[in-house]
A and B are shown apart, each in its own frame.
Chain A
Amino acid sequence: MSDTTRYLILASSFAVLAISFLIGLWARRKVTSPEAFIGGAKIFGPLTVGLATMAAVGSAFAVVGVPGLVFSSGNAILLFMFAAPAFVFGYLVIGKKVRALSEIGTVASLGDLSDLRFNGHRGIKLLLSIMLFLGCAMYLSAQVEACAKLFENLFDWNAVVIAVVIFAILIAYTVLSGEIGGVLTQAFQGLVIVVAGFIFTASFFFVTGGFGPVLEAIAASESGLDPSALTAWGSLPGAYSFAWILLPTLGIMCQPQVLTRITMMRTPRELPKLSLYAVVTNMITGLMVLSIGYCAIYLAATGTVTIDHPDKAVFKVADYLGIVAQMFVYPAVLAAALSTSSLFLSLAGTIVSRDMPGALGITIEPARQVTVSRIAMSVMGMAAIGFAALSGDMVAILGTYGFGTLAAATFPVFVISLLWKGANGRGVMAGMVTALAATLGGVGVELLKRYGLSDFAWPGSVPWYVFVMAASVVVSIAASLLFRGREADRLDRRVALALDL
C-alpha cells in the first residue's frame, strides 16, 4: 500500500471522528437539563433512532468480528447478523410498555426503569448496575480491539497509543453532550456504515462475480478450506449456531442500546417505523458483512491474499478491493466502534453517577451527576483499553461475551417483569444474584481454560452465557412464584396501566 493511499484512508477515518466531534459540540445546545444529558430527553424521531440503534447494536463486532469468523469458521456467525426480525419482535413485545413507563416518572437510565417497576428496589438496581458495568467493559474492549486492528493494519503504530488517541476524542465529545450527542453521532455513524455497505457490496460483486465463485474457488483450490463452512451451520459445532440464533433473538430486545433509545422516542406510535428503519439498515450491514466474509474466503482460497488473523479479514479485503472501498470500509469500522463505545461510555457514566449511588442510598444533586458521569466515562474508557490489552480475545468473541452478560442482566428486569405483573422484587433479585454469580463463574472458567488451568467443557459445547441467561430467567420466575403476595411488591397503579397497554 502506498503512503498516499495510507494517508487518504487516515484522512477519511479521521473525518468521521471530526464530524462526530462537531455533532457532539453542536448537540450541547440541546442539553437543557442534567436528565437530558444522561438520557431523559424524549425528542427523537424514528429515522434518527433507527440509524443510531442499528449502529450501536451492530458495533465493531459486526463489521470486524463477524467477517473474521465467517472467514475462519464459515456461516454460523452470520445467523447472529441475520436474526434481524428479532429487532421488530422486541419493539412489538415490550416497546410500548417501556416507553409508557417513561411517562410515569423521569426515566434517564435503566436504573430509573427498574425503580419504577420494582418500587425503588435497591438490590435489583445495584445488581443491574454491576452487571451492566461488566457488560460495558467487555463490549468496550471489543471496540478498542477493533480500532487497534484498523490502524495496526495501516501503520506500524502501538495498539495502546492508537486506542488512547481515538478514545480521547470519543470521550471528549461524549462528555460534552451526553446521550443527546450520543444519539445524533450514532445516527451519523449508522449512515456511514450504510453507505459503506452499498459501496462494499458493489465492489464485492465486481471482483468475485457473485457468491457462486466463492464456492467454486473452495472446491477447486488445494487450500484445505472446508466446504462445510458454507452450509447453514458453518464448520463449528452446531451448538454455536444454536447460541448465535438464541442470543440475538432473545437478547436484542433487552440490550441497553435498544431500551435506552425507546425511552428517548417522541411517541411510542413511531416504534413500528423505527423498527422498519432499524431492520432495513441492519440488512444492508448484513449484506456488507456477508460480502466481506465471502470475499476473504475467495481471496484466501485463490491464494490472492494471505490473512493471518481473522480480525484482519475486513482490512485485507478492503486493501485488495482498492482505494474506493478502503476509503469507506475503514471509516465504517471506526464508525461502528465509535457508535457502540459512546453508548456504553454514557451508560457507564450513568451507572456511576445515578444508578449506583441511588442503589446505595446516596443522593447526588442532578448538576453534580453530570460531573461525576464525565469522570466515570473517562475512567471507564481507560479501563476498557487496559482490559482489551490484557484479554487479547477476538473482537467477535468479546462482543458475544458482552452481549450475553447484558442479556442475562436485563432479561428478567425488562422482559419477564414487563410481560408478567407477577414478577416481584425478591424473585427478580434472586434471578439477578444467579446471573451475577453465573457470569463470574462463566468468565472465570473461560480464563482458567485460557491459561491451561482447566479443561472443563460446557455441556454440548454450548457457550456459557446461554446457561447464564437460562438460569437467571428460570430462577426469577420460580422465586417470584415462591415469594408472591407481599404488600411491598404491589404495583403502582400507573405502572400497572403501563404494563396493561
Chain B
Amino acid sequence: MIETLLIIASGLLWILMVTLAGAGHWLAGLYVLLALLLVYAVLGTSHRGRFDLRLVLFPTSVWLLSWAGAFALGDYFARAWGDAVPAFTVFGFHPSFAAIIVLFWIFPTLLMGFGFDSMSDRWLSQKQWDDFLDRINEETRADKGDGEE
C-alpha cells in the first residue's frame, strides 16, 4: 500500500516537474526532481515491505542536499553578474560554475561512490543473497514437483 502511494506521488511529481519546466520555471522543476529522486530512493530500499531509511539518509539524502545547494548557489551567482565578467573566481571558474564543480560534481560523486561502498553490507549482505538463492531454488523445486504430480 505504501509502495503504491509512493509511486502515485512519483507520478504526480513527474507531472509537476515537467509542467513547471514547460511553464518556464525550470529551476523549480529541478528542485522537484530532487523530491522525485528521494521517492525512488525510498522505494529502492524496500526489503520485504520494509524501507531502510538509514540507507536513504546516507548517502542519498546528503547527495540530494548537495545538489540543492549547487542549484541555489549556481543560480545566485549566475544572476549576480548576468552577462558580465564576475568580480572574482573560485579555482579559476565563474563562481556560479564553481558551485556546480564542487557541490554538483566532485563532492556528491565521491560521496555516493564511497558511501555506497561503505554501506554495501547494509544494502545487500551475503546472508540476504544466499537466502534469496535458497528460496529461489526451493520455489523452483516446488514448481517442478507440482509439474510432476
Chain A interface residues toward B at CB < 8 A: 75, 78-79, 82-85, 87-89, 91-94, 96, 100, 103-104, 210-215, 218-219, 226-228, 230-233, 238-239, 241-243, 245-246, 249-250, 267-269, 271-273, 275-276, 279-280, 282-283, 286, 415-416, 419-423, 458-460, 462, 466-467, 470, 473-474, 477-478, 481, 493-494, 497-498, 500-501
Contacting pair B100 A89 (CB below 8 A)? no
**Whole-angstrom distance from the CB of A437 to the nearest CB of chain B?**
17
Interface string of B81-115 (1 = CB under 8 A from A): 11111100101111011011100111011111111
Partner of A459, one of B10, B23, B47, B97: B23
Contacting pair B74 A232 (CB below 8 A)? yes
- A89-B41 contact given A232-B78, A460-B21, CB 8 Å threshold: yes
Contacting pair A89 B37 (CB below 8 A)? yes
**Whole-angstrom distance from the CB of A436 to the nearest CB of chain B?**
18
Contacting pair B60 A92 (CB below 8 A)? yes
- A477-B47 contact given A238-B26, A462-B21, CB 8 Å threshold: no
Chain B interface residues toward A at CB < 8 A: 3-4, 7-8, 10-11, 14-15, 17-18, 21-24, 26-27, 29-30, 33, 36-37, 40-41, 43-44, 46-49, 55, 59-60, 63, 67, 70, 74-75, 77-78, 81-86, 89, 91-94, 96-97, 99-101, 104-106, 108-117, 119-120, 123-124, 126, 128-129, 132-133, 135-136, 139-140
- A497-B136 contact given A422-B7, A466-B18, CB 8 Å threshold: yes
Contacting pair B18 A416 (CB below 8 A)? no
Contacting pair A226 B83 (CB below 8 A)? yes
Could you say which residues of chain A place their CB within 8 Å of the CB of B17?
A: 246, 470
Contacting pair B105 A227 (CB below 8 A)? no
Could you say which residues of chain B place their CB within 8 Å of the CB of A422?
A: 3-4, 7
Can you give 24 contacting A-B residue pairs, CB < 8 Å? A82-B109, A89-B40, A89-B63, A89-B112, A93-B40, A93-B41, A96-B123, A214-B92, A215-B85, A228-B83, A238-B27, A239-B24, A245-B30, A246-B33, A250-B37, A268-B129, A272-B117, A279-B110, A279-B113, A286-B105, A462-B26, A481-B8, A497-B139, A501-B132
Could you say which residues of chain A place their CB within 8 Å of the CB of B120?
A: 269, 272-273
Contacting pair B46 A500 (CB below 8 A)? yes
A277 closest partner in B (C-beta): B113
Contacting pair B132 A497 (CB below 8 A)? yes
A103 closest partner in B (C-beta): B136
Contacting pair A82 B4 (CB below 8 A)? no
9 interchain residue pairs of minimum CB distance: A93-B44, A212-B92, A232-B74, A211-B92, A459-B22, A82-B105, A88-B112, A242-B26, A231-B78
